[in-house]
Amino acid sequence: MKNPFRDISPGGRMIFALTMLTFGAYALTSVFLLFWIPGVIPMGSIFFLPPVLLILFLWYCIRSIRFYNRLNRELFTDWLMPHYAFNTFLILLISGFFFVVFRIRNFDFPEYWGQLFITVLIAYFFGILPLPAAFKKSRKAGIYVLLSLFCAWIGFLFLSLACKMMLHGFFSLYRVIEKLSADPMETDFRWFSLFGQKVPLAFLHLEWLIGISLALLLAACFFYAKMLSELTGEPLRKIFPKPVFYLVGATAACHILFLLLCWSAASQLESARLQIQKRFGRYPNAEELSKLYFSGMKSDKNFWFSLEKALENPNEDRFRTPKASDIPYDFFPDRFILLTDQEKRMFDIELSKKSSALAEMLLFMNAGIPKYPFNIKKGEIMICNFHNHMIMRLFSRHTSWKSCIALEGGNKSEAFRFAELTRKMAQYGENHPFLIGALSNIKSYNHYFDSLERLTEKHFLTREQIQMISGELLAMEMRLPRMEKDTLFSDAVGASEDLTELILNPPEEYGQGYSIRRMPLFLPQLYWLLLLNQTSLVKAYDVDDFGKIPSSRNIPLKPSLMAKRMFTGSSESVHIKFMNLLARSRAERVILACELFRMDTGKYPTAASELVPKYLDSIPEDPFTGKLLLFRAGKIRVEVWKIAEKDKIVRVVGEPKEIEGIQVWSVGPNGKDDDGIYNNQKNQDDIRAVIQTR
């Protein structure tokens, strides 16, 4: 068989080198991604790709310099001219080396240094190298060089903008995560920088940018080939040898292959969605999630807007040093907090200022809390609940402090009223299907339990109130599995609807306000990666509860599973939070039964068995072990908190103390009895309810 490379002309070798640097590099990268994305080859092997592409680039550089030096020797008699191209390249290479080193060392270089560097390379290889020989040969060849340089340069600028749009689209997902983590990116995304010049988004459209840039780059290659034809005297048929068409064909085959893989991955994603529908009885989309949340009820935008405005702290500044009067806005009241008389008066004044603005809202809440006006739609499910979550937390913080201060002042009705408002907000959160809302709901319940224990130990609760609260807690425990299932479904909907949508069509608040929906057509490799990640993420939620989702350490480190590792890595801890709430609620019911026992006998029980069957049908089980909750009356170790100032910073600090009381506790997730103590640093995770009896 005849070797097609043997008879390639000098001009054909140049075009082959250029084709290898462009089409060949694309084909090599595609073949690599074909095995890298599914995890067939190690994830770290991605670092071998840049050296391979660099070798291709250097090979093209050497071949170009040798080709034009040979032409220069033939066309020029000046002895310096044959070394013209090489000396220029050497200067650029050394300059580029120092440029990159300074950039790595974080010297103050402009952010567009990459654009500048590639522009210099284009100017060198499409202008500086061929221009002398081209104009020496003929004016026509020189014009072809200028046309090739112009098309290559403008095409690169357009392609650079398109790549920036796609890159920022990919990072829009991370900006959402940063926003939900209260650590937003301080960046203006209303424009893109092109050599430091602001290009408004109104003038950008991804499809047009990519289409025009590719057309210009192909035109640059054509003019470059025409220039080579003029320089060498070879016809275009020889300038474009068969190996060039082989490379173009291989590139087209790779592109078509990935388009087919995208179609297959989309089918797998739809199959995963149908599995979710089979498990939850609802198709995982925004419409079904909206039906689940609203359940035919109407929202009240004015109520939530007024509540948010009333709760807003006018002095709030995340970087300020808090004063003692700001403690109610910065901290939740701990179960055992010790306040001085001055602090009680100060907090009462500060909280009363806010309560006056809240008075009308609190009266309205007695009839129930209306639905928050969520705009649940595709691509914004992960971010639409952020404000509601913050309002829930602020409200629980305020009512918890109001109940605490009212207790300190001996105001029974006021203390109970604000504790009930905390419970109402927690009950509203039960119908909050979003994960972040469910976690805020659990937090609200825990602060309600703290208020409940304070009310109990001060004997502020009547028999009727205790019986009502016990019934409410028992009903909440029955609803917990549904709450977790709804939260799991909302996460499945977010995985099904948001992952690719946030990238292909990022919201203006978190992205740039443009759409890159045609990205699958131009970069099917990245779209295939997105679809595989989305499919694996949706499949992860095909379980009964969060505890059955594999933790990140059990998920293989593969590019196709990165979203699953990122979004489900802490799912086990979410399930534990629901279990903690169940354990705490059961312990609180035992404490309330102890208070009923005291009302009847004038003393507290010394053992849990004394509460059965009159006050409790049975001692509740520990949800973590299946055994009975632990009970002790006597000496209890607690942490007493007080406000202290150290180094001009006001904070709440704790001190260990032993009290006489009753403690009911669960051994927690680790299954080890730590005497009711929770200390994350010491791996102590018991869940308890405790009251002081003396």
CB-based burial label for 540 (10 Å; 0-12, 13-18, 19+)? buried
Distance CA(436)–CA(417), nearest Å, equals 26
Distance CA(592)–CA(605), nearest Å, equals 12
Report long-range pairs for 291-294 (Cβ below 8 Å, ≥24 apart). Answer: 292/433, 292/486, 292/489, 292/490, 293/371, 293/374, 293/376, 293/431, 293/432, 293/433, 294/371
Q: What is the pLDDT of residue 268?
A: 94
Q: Is the confidence at residue 1, as pLDDT, over 50?
A: no
Closest CA to 433 of 399, 382, 472, 395: 382
Distance CA(601)–CA(650), nearest Å, equals 45
Written as one letter, the residue type at 238 is K
Q: What is the pLDDT of residue 422?
A: 86
Distance CA(679)–CA(667), nearest Å, equals 13
In this structure, are residues 476 and 578 in contact, taking their beta carbons and an 8 Å threshold?
A: no
pLDDT (average), residues 551-576: 82
Q: What percent of the chain has pLDDT over 70?
A: 74
What is the rounded radius of gyration, in angstroms, for the C-alpha atoms of the chain? 34
Q: What is the pLDDT of residue 328?
A: 54
**Higher pLDDT pick, 596 / 370:** 596
Distance CA(96)–CA(113), nearest Å, equals 10
Q: What is the pLDDT of residue 196?
A: 58
Q: What is the pLDDT of residue 118?
A: 81
Pairing of strands 337-338, 684-685: unpaired
> What is the band of 340 on the pLDDT scale with cuts at 50, 70, 90?
low
Written as one letter, the residue type at 299 is S
Q: Is the confidence at residue 560, as pLDDT, over 90?
A: no
Pairing of strands 678-679, 649-666: unpaired
Question: Considering only 9-18, 134-143, 305-314, 396-405, which range has the smallest mean pLDDT?
Answer: 305-314
Q: Is the confidence at residue 590, as pLDDT, over 70?
A: yes
pLDDT (average), residues 18-25: 90
Is the bond leading into 613 cis (omega within 30 degrees of zero)?
yes
Distance CA(260)–CA(252), nearest Å, equals 12
Distance CA(345)–CA(354), nearest Å, equals 15
Distance CA(195)–CA(482), nearest Å, equals 55
Q: What is the pLDDT of residue 252?
A: 93
**Which among 197-201, 436-440, 516-520, 665-669 has the top mean pLDDT?**
665-669
pLDDT (average), residues 85-106: 64
Q: What is the pLDDT of residue 473?
A: 92
Distance CA(80)–CA(269), nearest Å, equals 64
Distance CA(492)–CA(512), nearest Å, equals 26
Residues counted in the chain: 694
Q: Is the confidence at residue 567, as pLDDT, over 90?
A: no
Q: What is the pLDDT of residue 434?
A: 79
Q: Tell me if residue 78 falls in helix, strand or coil.
A: coil
Q: What is the pLDDT of residue 200?
A: 57
Distance CA(564)–CA(538), nearest Å, equals 9
Q: What is the pLDDT of residue 642?
A: 73
CB atoms within 10 A of CB 240: 20
> What is the band of 260 on the pLDDT scale with cuts at 50, 70, 90?
very high
What tokens were used for 240? 């474009």
Q: Which residue has the tokens 């080890």?
A: 672
Written as one letter, the residue type at 370 is P
> Across the strands, what pairs with 662?
633, 691
In this structure, are residues 176 and 94 in contact, taking their beta carbons and an 8 Å threshold?
A: no
Closest CA to 385 of 334, 330, 434: 434
Alpha helices in 281-411 (DSSP H): 286-294, 301-311, 327-330, 341-365, 386-408
Q: Is the confidence at residue 651, as pLDDT, over 70?
A: no
Q: Is the confidence at residue 680, as pLDDT, over 70?
A: no
What is the Cβ-side half-sphere exposure of residue 29, based on CA atoms within 13 angstroms?
Answer: 18
pLDDT (average), residues 312-324: 45
Q: Tell me if residue 190 falls in helix, strand or coil.
A: coil
Burial track 555-594 (b if 16+ CB lie within 10 A, e otherwise): beebbbbbbbbbbbbebbebbbbbbbbbbbbbbbbbbbbb
Q: What is the pLDDT of residue 71?
A: 80
In this structure, are residues 39 and 556 in contact, taking their beta carbons and an 8 Å threshold?
A: yes
Q: What is the pLDDT of residue 350?
A: 67
Closest CA to 460 of 500, 518, 494, 420: 420
Pairing of strands 197-200, 191-194: antiparallel
pLDDT (average), residues 606-615: 88
Written as one letter, the residue type at 573 is S
pLDDT (average), residues 217-233: 89
Distance CA(371)–CA(373), nearest Å, equals 6
In this structure, are residues 438 and 481 in contact, taking their beta carbons and an 8 Å threshold?
A: no
**Which among 68-77, 172-181, 547-556 has the top mean pLDDT?**
547-556
Closest CA to 638 of 684, 690, 580, 589: 690
Distance CA(172)–CA(511), nearest Å, equals 5
Tell me the per-residue pLDDT of 270-293, one tens digit each, with 9 for 90 and over: 999 999 999 999 899 888 888 888
> What is the band of 330 on the pLDDT scale with cuts at 50, 70, 90?
low
> Across the strands, what pairs with 687?
666
SS3 of 79-94: CCHHHHHHHHHHHHHH
What tokens were used for 221? 């290659």
Contacts of 17 (CB under 8 A, 6+ apart): 59, 60, 63, 64
Q: What is the pLDDT of residue 433?
A: 72
Number of H helices and E strands in the chain, helices first, is: 23, 8
CB-based burial label for 127 (10 Å; 0-12, 13-18, 19+)? middle
Q: What is the mean pLDDT of the chain?
A: 79
What tokens were used for 124? 């060198």
Q: Which strands, in side-by-side order, build the sheet including 687-692?
A: 337-338, 630-646, 649-666, 687-692
Q: What percent of the chain has pLDDT over 90?
A: 18
Tell me the per-residue pLDDT of 382-432, one tens digit each, with 9 for 90 and over: 666 667 777 888 888 888 888 888 887 788 888 888 888 888 888 888 887
> Across the strands, what pairs with 659?
636
pLDDT (average), residues 184-207: 55
**Higher pLDDT pick, 230 / 7:** 230
Q: What is the pLDDT of residue 528?
A: 92
Q: Tell me if residue 641 falls in helix, strand or coil.
A: strand
Question: Considering only 75-79, 134-138, 419-423, 464-468, which range has the smallest mean pLDDT?
Answer: 75-79
Q: What is the pLDDT of residue 427?
A: 85
Q: For residue 619, is it left (φ>0), alpha (ψ between -120 and 50) or beta?
A: beta
pLDDT (average), residues 611-623: 89
> What is the band of 116 on the pLDDT scale with cuts at 50, 70, 90?
confident
Q: Is the confidence at residue 29, as pLDDT, over 90?
A: yes
Question: Considering only 249-253, 294-298, 640-644, which range has the smallest mean pLDDT?
Answer: 640-644
CA distances from 122 to 55, 158, 160 (A): 18, 14, 13
pLDDT (average), residues 188-208: 58
What tokens were used for 431? 């119908």
Q: Is the confidence at residue 189, as pLDDT, over 60?
A: no
Q: What is the pLDDT of residue 316?
A: 45
> Across the strands, what pairs with 621?
628
CB atoms within 10 A of CB 10: 17
Q: What is the pTM of this model?
A: 0.81
Tell me the per-residue pLDDT of 480-535, one tens digit each, with 9 for 90 and over: 999 989 888 988 888 888 777 777 766 655 544 455 666 677 888 888 998 999 99
Start-to-end C-alpha separation, the chain: 100
Distance CA(355)–CA(417), nearest Å, equals 13
pLDDT (average), residues 435-443: 82
Name the residue ranges covered by the structural domains of the chain. 10-258, 283-461, 600-694
Contacts of 141 (CB under 8 A, 6+ apart): 134, 135, 227, 230, 231
**Higher pLDDT pick, 64 / 365:** 64
